[in-house]
Structure 1
Amino acid sequence: MSWNYRIMKRKVSDSEFEYGIHEVYYKENGEIEGYTQNSIVSTVHSPEGLKYELESMMKAFDLKIVDYTEKSTN
């Protein structure tokens, strides 16, 4: 079995959809066998919004890693 990340679209009302990134699993013949129920990132209302979220996450690689033992500000 193989898998990859895929953008998935879910209808939330007659005129609205939400988009998220899911792990999608494939059979040996390439057909989709299943996928994660929940997106691995926050869902948004457009593919462009999803791209923005991911680009924002990529910026984290340019910052110092925060240790869980550091005091929370929330």
Structure 2
Amino acid sequence: MTSWNYRIIKKTDPLNNEQVYQVHEVYYSSNGAIECWNDNPVEPMGVNTAGLRNDIQAFLSAFRLPAMQQQIINGRHTLVEEQLPANKPDSYNDYQQKTERAISYINQILGNNLILKKDPALRQAFEKVDLALHDLKNLAAAEHQALISPLKSSG
């Protein structure tokens, strides 16, 4: 076992037989294969509110990856990624717009802070973040364009 992360796992609630989603720790081998996961979902906790907030922030990282579904295959419990719906042009357009809002917000709150004028290391780090966000926005725009181009040429 070389790494782990939080993942959302869909499984059947034994009390009411309904499908539920919960956050679990999933452990991986060095080749990226799932070795095991905790049976019980994790719960956020902290010795203070800042610690609790950090725990909740870490749990939110699970939403960046597809949810897993617990299945029994060949008599063994296995995690299988849920199938995601096909990407739609509107999804990329929406993501691009949200990225633009995030860039604007970050520039207002962090980019215009006087400390950046005084601290070259912080300014350089901020510029890397700003460039990365612009790259993210441009990638979303390119994916959006790639999805709508075939629609325009066939229409």
Tell me the TM-score normalised to structure 1 length.
0.50
Higher strand content, 1 or 2: 1
Larger Rg computed on CA atoms: 2
